[in-house]
Amino acid sequence: AARWARVTAIMKDFEEKCGTSIENLKQVADAMNLEMHNGLASDSGDATKLKMLISYVDNLPTGNEKGLFYALDLGGTNFRVLRVQLGGKGGGIVNQEFAEVSIPSDLMVGTSEALFDFIAAELAKFVDQEGEDFQLPPGRQRELGFTFSFPVMQSSIASGNLIRWTKGFSIDNTVGQDIVAELTRAMERRGVDMRVSALVNDTVGTLARGRYSNRDVVAAVILGTGTNAAYVEHAHAIPKLDGLLPKSGEMVINMEWGGFRSLHHPLTEYDHALDAESLNPGEQIFEKMISGMYLGEIVRRVLCRMAEEASIFGDTIPPKLEVPFILRTPDMSAMHHDTSSDLKVVDNKLKNILEIPDTSLEIREVVVELCNIVATRGARLAAAGIMGILMKLQRDTINDGEKQMTVVALDGGLYEHYTEFRKCLQNTLKELLGEEVSQSIVFEHSKDGSGIGAALLAASHSRYL
Ligand code: ADP
Ligand code: MG
């Protein structure tokens, strides 16, 4: 009984510290909005501030893009190579093919050359296997949109230096380097004849993909291994753009919101420990509370505490439970969605992943509740972030009965597959906006948008136009 009281106490304490009242979320949204203004005013070296990076995308796809274009999507656990045949005005996407490869984990923490050689080799394979369905007009070089989902200080649409790695990557000799130059050199070493015509963040690609089929798309959010957002800003509202005013009057901004840190959502001791032991301590705090790379790991850490202090899994701590990142977010989501009366899925996951046999139903219920607390906090904070963007765009209120629709394109494995997370995100935004305004805000799933969007941007920045 004393043990059970300890379990309840740990749970209650954790739940309280993960609390996200509406008042709290409104403060987070206000802080996001404020940080957006600050980040647009000037670049600061502070890793806890919003970078608000200029993407050099000042025209989004119109639907008139035409021809065969390639994309390479590097961002988290997998990387993809795509070819997309665009039909021109009214034609849409005529044909598309992709190959997906998981990135060997040693390459994520090795050298720049090894990583880019691996990518170039996959690209070479992909090109070699091209069938008759995809034809490049004679004399034309292949053109590639490169989706690179890490903070990059761009100097043009097709160049930019890596600011820092995030998520599971940490390769010292890439930081500060021009990512396009790195890829181009690797392609030359490998004999791949391709030109990078656009370097884009995955959020920017997703925004481009969304806009291609829906004119009302103004922002994009990624909820995958990491999390980030991009949106369309008025050029005159970007002081740091000084002088470089684009003709369109608009500029897509890559917020790098994963690096956001608001004083309005204090971290729990589990978050502090996760951060301290991560590859990038002190950085990407918003991302560490929201995204797929971390949610399961937070649950694992709380379970560890319960095993230590309340012996929920017996007298010793199961060794597997002490392995960082062993409990992945897809497994957490499977447990969270377990609807069987005896929580069979939870039982199986505990057995197969953590090698914990024979748990009681009460303990399995504790596990589900922990998943719920962690996913709820993440989803509600993400909703507050979106609210911050809507405030910045002044789309968080109804302007004189005007019926302007606002569409947010979303993508990423967490958003796509974690139903409870997605539902909570949608409900929370509704709660924040109120019934009336929320009718004008639409979420659209832009499936695989980041890669296709990069191909679209390669098309609109083609040298053959
Ligand atoms: P990336 O972010 O690496 O570019 P994705 O958008 O495909 O790639 O997202 C993959 C991430 O999504 C995984 O790392 C995982 O955290 C999360 N994810 C994948 N499947 C699920 C699932 N069934 N439930 C919850 N999260 C998932
Ligand atoms: Mg991705």
Phi, psi of 217 (to 5 degrees): -75, 125
Q: Residue 403's pLDDT is what?
A: 77
Cβ–Cβ < 8 Å for 202, 134: no
State the burial class of residue 292 (Cβ atoms within 10 Å of its Cβ: 0-12, 13-18, 19+): buried
Q: Which of 410, 414, 424 is the pocket-test mutation for ligand 1 (most atoms within 8 Å of CB)?
A: 414
List CB-based neighbours of ion ligand 2 within 5 Å. Answer: 75, 202, 224
Can you tell me the distance from the alpha carbon of 415 to that of 413, in angstroms, rounded to the nearest whole number? 5
Q: How far is the CA of 168 from the centre of ligand 1 (A)?
A: 13
Q: What atom of ligand 1 comes closest to residue 295's alpha carbon?
A: 16
**CA atoms of 172 and 318, how far apart (whole Å):** 35
Q: What is the pLDDT of residues 79-130, one digit of tens each?
A: 999 999 999 999 999 999 999 999 999 999 999 999 999 999 999 999 999 8
pTM over the 0.95 mark = yes
Distances (CA, A) of 385 to 135, 290, 321, 418: 43, 11, 32, 19
Mutation probe of ligand 1 site: the residue of 148, 225, 338, 371 with most atoms within 8 A of C-beta: 225
| Cα–Cα distances in angstroms (integers) from residue 321 to residues 306, 338, 348, in the given order | 11, 20, 15
Asked whether residue 47 carries a pLDDT value surpassing 90, the answer given is: no
Task: Please give the average per-residue pLDDT across 337-353, as a whole number.
Answer: 98
Residue with tokens 């969605």: 337
Q: How far is the CA of 415 from the centre of ligand 1 (A)?
A: 8
Q: Which fold has domain 55-213+448-458?
A: Nucleotidyltransferase; domain 5 (3.30.420)
Question: pLDDT digit string (tens) for 412-422?
Answer: 999 999 999 99
Average confidence (pLDDT) over 146-175: 96
Cα–Cα dist 376/16, whole Å? 12
Q: What is the pLDDT of residue 46?
A: 85
In this prediction, residue 401 has a pLDDT band, given cuts at 50, 70 and 90, of low
pLDDT in the model for residue 242: 81
Please give the average per-residue pLDDT across 371-396, as a whole number: 98
Q: Which atom of ligand 1 is nearest to the CA of 291?
A: 16
Identify the pLDDT of residue 208.
Answer: 98
- The answer to whether 447 is a known catalytic residue is no
Find out whether the beta carbon of 418 lies less than 6 Å from any atom of ligand 1: yes
202 given a catalytic annotation: yes
| For ligand 1, mutation pick of 227, 329, 345, 448 (most atoms within 8 Å of CB) | 329
> What Å distances lie between residue 45 and 49, 242, 328, CA to CA?
8, 19, 32
| Region of poorest pLDDT, from 13-17, 137-141, 240-244 | 240-244
Ligand 2 centre to CA of 47 (Å) is 22
Q: How many Å lie between the centroid of ligand 1 and the Cα of residue 81?
A: 18
ipTM of this model?
Answer: 0.99
Question: pLDDT averaged over the chain?
Answer: 96
